[in-house]
Amino acid sequence: MIQKADSLMANYQFEKALTILAYGDSLSANVLLRIGQCQFRLGASQAAVRPYERVLKMDSTNVTALNQLGQLYARSSDFGKALYYYLRLIKLDSMNSYYYKQAGSITQKMNGENGLIPKSFFEKALSLNPGDVETAVTLGNIYMELELYVSLDSLLHSAIPFDRQYKPLQVLKASSDFKQERYEMVVATINGLLMKADTTAIYARLLGASYLHLQDYQNVIPCMNFMLKNNYDNDYIYYYLGVAYHELGKLPASIENFNMAAKKSISENTGTYYSQLAKSYEDIGDYPQAIKAYHMAYNYSKEGILLYHLARNYDIYYKDKATARAYYYKYLNSDDTIRIAKEYSRYRVEAIDR
């Protein structure tokens, strides 16, 4: 009977296997484990729990039952119970990397953004199985979230030789290099990946942002356009395009993209987007639009230097200098510390008052 059930299970015929196992010895661990496995594979989580629990009553150290119960409870988001079973397994075999890896995965889901608890489990798992590149990536991302870059660099140095073709590990390296402002290395890594695979959004974002920091503005544009063509519609995409077009002297395209960035923005960067938009308007001599954009930028960020830019634009465009003087005066009373701007503002206030 067991042999027949195993044959059916090997061919994914779990319902038929259950029918045969129903006639087996209900006190046999071999039968109960197979019933649990069939129910597990059929998605009947609660029905799978019962036979595994019965096995543990007969043998509290049965690793199959303990592991499957850990998996079942994790699947149903009962992470406390899931962890309990993996801690029992660790107690039985403290040198098994798989158990630490599962405990790490469970505590990661339990603790949300707090990576300190899962970190210790994943570190132990990787120390026992250094070639587990999947665990290396998971732990590496925790290191990056915690800004433990020395640990992350060491991990990457050890893990990459095990599988240089594993793309998540290469993306982790590129992301780490980006966070540490090693933009040339990001470009080299991502371009290496692109030689072997199609472009993806993460590749395009890392590559485009690195080109922006390297002031290679011409190459920023195709990266960001790739993201737009693939239905990514984030404010930063338009911002990067706005900066690139501005630096390339394509001011109408710059204005269009800064406008889109500001409209799309729901982040703390909105003031920056409007400030850059104002600068582009100023560069083409459209001072009324520049003034509007600087007002919007100040409304969002309250940065003192924007009062200075408002004063300058009012000063340039309007014959009546009263509004310009008022903004110079506001700027002089702000906390901003840019010496040249302060000196010029004092000069203009004095000149207007003569």
pLDDT digits (tens, 9 = 90+) for 123-135: 999 999 999 999 9
CA dihedral 68, 73, 125, 180 (to 10 degrees): 140
pLDDT digits (tens, 9 = 90+) for 269-280: 999 999 999 999
The DSSP code for 197 is: S
Q: What pLDDT is stored for residue 131 in this prediction?
A: 97
Cβ atoms of 180 and 149 within 8 Å: the answer is yes
Q: Where are the domains of the chain?
A: 303-354
Q: At residue 112, does pLDDT exceed 80?
A: no
Kindly give, in sequence order, each residue whose CB lies less than 8 Å from that of residue 305, ignoring residues fewer than 6 positions away: 331, 336, 338, 341
Range with the poorest average pLDDT among 18-32, 273-287, 300-314? 18-32
pLDDT digits (tens, 9 = 90+) for 314-325: 999 999 999 999
Cβ atoms of 350 and 324 within 8 Å: the answer is no
Angle at the Cα of 137 from the Cα atoms of 69 and 227, rounded to 5 degrees: 115
Q: What pLDDT is stored for residue 115 in this prediction?
A: 67
